[in-house]
Structure formats: structure tokens, C-alpha cells
Structure 1
Amino acid sequence: MNSRALYVAFFLALSALLLSACGSSPQRESTGEYFDDSVITTKVKAAIFNHPDLAVSEINVETFKGEVQLSGFVSSTNDMNTAVRLARGVTGVTSVKNSMRLKQ
């Protein structure tokens, strides 16, 4: 093998290694998925914030691979249902897990 072919083989192997590191697994998001989830989280927070009846500071939003989890405290079951409905209406959301609790 000449030196040029050796360099080409080395860079192809290095590229394959780097690209495989960017892939996702069941427990870890790829770079693109992480960015998509950040956008979804921001859109869900904005939808909740723009609703006049919801206390956005008490509702936490987390997203993993399109699945949104809502947690925190709300004043009523109606507020809880409204937050879930707003989250489901955001583009890119695949499912919504409701972990919110009612204030005592």
C-alpha cells in the first residue's frame, strides 16, 4: 500500500468512528435529537406561558426523543388538562407524560 492509500484508509476509519459517536441509543439522544427536543421544550413552555390561566413558573417541561414530561404543581384538574392539551398540540411531540400534582 502506498502512503496516499494509507492516509485515505485512516481518514475513512476516523470519519466512521466520529459518525458512529453521533448516533443515538435508547438511553442517549443524538445531537440532532437533542436539538429537536430543545426546540419542542421551548415551544411547549411558550404555549403554556401564553395561556392566561396557567402559572408557568410552577410547571416544568422536559423532552426526550419527542416525549414531553410535564411536572410541577397546578391549582386544578382543569389547569392540568389544559397544560397537557397545549403540549400535545405542539409540532414534534409524540406523547405527553403527566407528572403534575394538584396544590394542597
Structure 2
Amino acid sequence: MKHIKALTTAVLIGATVLASGCSVMRHQETVGSYVDDATITTRVKAKFVEDKTVDAAAIKVETLNGAVQLSGFAKSAGEKAKAEALARNTDGVRSVRNNLEVRP
């Protein structure tokens, strides 16, 4: 079980770095900020994976200068609220924009 969790975390880190690599090239943030934001995104996604009430695969997390944006779909208003609460309670998060749509 620990190996699966470690593998999941590694995959999330890799996907986060690959998915958000363009922002540094477009000069939207410094390399240090980029690394911090990638770390925040990974932490939020890891919390989603750990919490069985949130479907981590259905929620996209993007971070820019500590501001987290959630997009995608939630199965209920409760799941949407839980995802936002998990993101808000993550180290380094300055604000959360919850753009999740509820689709049962």
C-alpha cells in the first residue's frame, strides 16, 4: 500500500511539472515561484488522493503565485466544498478559486 501511495505521489509530481512547465517560459513567474507553485499543486492533489470523498481524477488543480484554481467536476455540493476546504488548508495556499461544476 505504501508503494502505491509513493508511486501515486511521484506520478502527480511528474504530471504537475509537465503540465505547468509553459508558464516559466512565458515569463509569468520566477523559477522559484514556479517550483513553489508546483509543490502546492502536488500537495493539494495528494490531499485529494488521500481523501476518499473527493475524486482526484475529476479535479484539475492549477497554482500561480500561491493562488489555487480548481476546475472540473464534482458529484455533489459537498464534494465541491470538501475539495475547496482541502485546498485552503494546504501549506502555501494564499487563495482558492473554486470553479468546480456539480454534475451528479
Please give the range of the TM-score, normalised by the shorter of the 2 chains: 0.7 to 0.9
Per-residue CA deviations over 1:39-80 (Å, capped at 9, x if unaligned) read: 000000001111011111100000000000000000100000
Q: Which residue of 2 aligns with 1:61?
A: 61
Query: In structure 2, what is the Cα distance between the partners aligned to 1:55 and 1:91?
Result: 21
Q: Which residue of 2 aligns with 1:12?
A: none
TM-score, normalization by structure 2: 0.73
- Give the aligned CA root-mean-square deviation in angstroms: 1.4
Structure 1 residue 28 displacement after superposition: 1.1
Query: In structure 1, what is the Cα distance between the partners aligned to 2:98 and 2:54?
Result: 15
Q: Which residue of 1 aligns with 2:99?
A: 99
Bigger radius of gyration among the two = 1
- Pick the structure with more helix per residue: 2
Gaps of 5+ in 1: 1-23
Q: Which residue of 2 aligns with 1:82?
A: 82
Per-residue CA deviations over 1:3-59 (Å, capped at 9, x if unaligned) read: xxxxxxxxxxxxxxxxxxxxx9xx710010000000000000001111011111100
TM-score, normalization by structure 1: 0.73
Query: In structure 1, what is the Cα distance between the partners aligned to 2:92 and 2:56?
Result: 21
Query: In structure 1, what is the Cα distance between the partners aligned to 2:49 and 2:89?
Result: 14
Q: Which residue of 1 aligns with 2:42?
A: 42
Gaps of 5+ in 2: 1-23
Identity %: 41
Q: Which portions of structure 1, spanning 4 or more consecutive aligned residues, are displaced by more than 6 angstroms?
A: none
